[in-house]
Structure 1
Amino acid sequence: MNSMTIENHNSSVHPSSDTILSIEGVGKKFGTIRVLEGVDFSLSSGEVVAIIGPSGSGKSTLLRCINQLEPQTEGIIRVGDVVIDALHAPSKQQLSKLQRKLGMVFQSFNLFPHLTVLENVSLAQRKVLGRSKREADERSMQLLTRVGLAGKAEMYPSRCSGGQQQRIAISRALALDPEIMLFDEPTSALDPEVGLEVLAVMRELANSGMTMIVVTHEMRFAEQVSDRVVVMADGRIIEEGPSKDVMRNPKHERVQKFLTAVRDR
């Protein structure tokens, strides 16, 4: 990793018209508590979308519904040719196909402490994709090199910093060759300086054309790296548009107040 600065993603390039993900009327309840309501959203291949908004607005729940860690209670989610309708429980085959299309990076790293860094990245490739140990390890080393961690391959996660562990987690998700990467506030548990290492990797992914949805509190990343910003509040999308337009000239009063509060903190 030669540079830890965040450079602009080329937002002047219009995303592909090929819709890779669509969400129609999605809602989610936990008992009597409604956390998502009437969410409509689409994502084009190669597009980078940042989702921002106050805590408790449903951002992380939306990601968890997309990958079915939390099944939605209303609406339809389409990822490629996989259709998940809240009216019908998905089959194991549907869920398996869906999860093959999606890579997920969480706030916590969820690495196996008893496995080396290399083994952490290789394990799922062997279990899910059926790669041989040699094939999986070769792919893992390519990815660890990409995120600047080839020298950590034989170490255990406890010997790595938080930022390094999150970059390992990103490598593990990429190793399954997902069509879409989902990031749930991947820098929130990290010190700001360390978080820049992770943001630099995400910037490189964006510049390489990876399709990404990023729930984030990093306003600079949202403005400079994403193509589009989606703002959520109270379980709904209240504003969305080209990143610089939303971040610099929001139309919704709630968004104006939120961005002012974040920037004045």
Structure 2
Amino acid sequence: MKKASPSGSMLKVTGVGKAFGTLTVLNDINLEVGEGEVVAMIGPSGSGKSTLLRCINQLEPPTSGSITLAGITIDAGIVATRRQLTELRRTAGMVFQSFNLFPHMSVLRNVSLPQQRVLGRSRVEADERSMSLLSRVGLASKASEYPVRCSGGQQQRIAIARALALDPEIMLFDEPTSALDPELGLEVLNVMRELADGGMTMIVVTHEMHFAETVSDRVVVMADGRIVEEGPSREVMRNPHSQRARLFLNAVKNR
């Protein structure tokens, strides 16, 4: 079920560009995401979608432009302070294609340790929060296991619990199901649907077209480092206006 219109701006990306040497991968990106809004970002591989997410949380500092996230503004070319980066990355939870779990730590420690390091919670407080989140994603019984004993879908759900444990205001998903077979990917998508229904602000880079159309509020289509179209999900997915968006969606549907 789609939510009401967002109540305020959570994220504002203004004129953002990113270049690696002579290669420009993002060119004048402007995007605003409202509080409680779910935005699906689609487009061909290499269009800059993942790079944009990494610019938002400053894993890849932009070459130009500015990013304002939950009241924190970071301008390109000005080195962000350690305090700014810590607050920004606590505000924006990130879930990657690969799960990035610590193999030598139990599932519980994977979720608890960041809370102790970033939020200063005690181990008891962190473990309590972790167990609550593992229950939420259906994995409380795996708390004492090591990640290698969990399926890919379970590991991705653990990664989501770990990101949620820092109480983020927005979640960034970078193709979270791309490394999973369809059945395991469905486990992850179900958790993401629950987050969306609960009002979590989300940006999801995805190749899951059904998810983009039915769960997100808005779809952004990227190609060649630019936003070529954006609008209400059903409208963009079923009746794209730009030629580039039509080419991409026709290719996906006819695959």
- What TM-score do you get using the length of structure 1 for normalisation? 0.95
- 1:174 aligned to 2:148? no
User: Counterparts in 2 of 1:219-234, with a 5 A limit?
Assistant: 219-234=209-224
Instruction: Measure, in 2, the Cα distance between the counterparts of 1:32 and 1:220.
Output: 36
Q: Please report the RMSD computed on the Cα atoms of aligned residues, expressed in angstroms.
A: 0.7
Report the counterpart of residue 137 of structure 1 in structure 2. Answer: 127
User: Counterparts in 2 of 1:60-139, with a 5 A limit?
Assistant: 60-139=50-129
Deviation at 1:91, TM superposition (A): 1.4
Which AA in structure 2 matches 1:246? V
Instruction: Measure, in 2, the Cα distance between the counterparts of 1:82 and 1:14.
Output: 23
Report the counterpart of residue 190 of structure 1 in structure 2. Answer: 180
The C-alpha deviation readout for 1:60-90, integer Å capped at 9, x for no partner, is 0000000000000000100122111013111
Instruction: Measure, in 2, the Cα distance between the counterparts of 1:10 and 1:81.
Output: 26
- 1:43 aligned to 2:33? yes
Deviation at 1:97, TM superposition (A): 1.6
User: Counterparts in 2 of 1:229-248, with a 5 A limit?
Assistant: 229-248=219-238
Deviation at 1:234, TM superposition (A): 0.4
Instruction: Measure, in 2, the Cα distance between the counterparts of 1:69 and 1:170.
Output: 18
Q: The residue matched to 2:180 in structure 1 has which SS? A: coil
Aligned with residue 215 of structure 1, among 205, 219, 231: 205
Report the counterpart of residue 260 of structure 1 in structure 2. Answer: 250
The C-alpha deviation readout for 1:70-127, integer Å capped at 9, x for no partner, is 0000001001221110131111121112111110000000101111111110000011
Q: The residue matched to 1:229 in structure 2 has which SS? A: strand
Which AA in structure 2 matches 1:15? P
Instruction: Measure, in 1, the Cα distance between the counterparts of 2:157 and 2:18.
Output: 31
Which AA in structure 2 matches 1:38? D
Identity over aligned residues, as a percent?
Answer: 69
Q: The residue matched to 1:238 in structure 2 has which SS? A: strand
Instruction: Measure, in 2, the Cα distance between the counterparts of 1:203 and 1:80.
Output: 23
Give ranges in structure 1 of 5+ residues lacking alignment: 1-8
The C-alpha deviation readout for 1:115-146, integer Å capped at 9, x for no partner, is 11111100000111111111101100110000
Instruction: Measure, in 2, the Cα distance between the counterparts of 1:245 and 1:90.
Output: 38
Equivalent pairs, count: 255
Which AA in structure 2 matches 1:10? K
Aligned with residue 29 of structure 1, among 19, 29, 34: 19
* 4+ runs deviating over 4 angstroms: none
Instruction: Measure, in 1, the Cα distance between the counterparts of 2:83 and 2:239.
Output: 44
Which AA in structure 1 matches 2:136? R
- What TM-score do you get using the length of structure 2 for normalisation? 0.99
Deviation at 1:253, TM superposition (A): 1.0
Instruction: Measure, in 1, the Cα distance between the counterparts of 2:204 and 2:187.
Output: 16
Report the counterpart of residue 6 of structure 2 in structure 1. Answer: 15
Q: The residue matched to 2:202 in structure 1 has which SS? A: strand
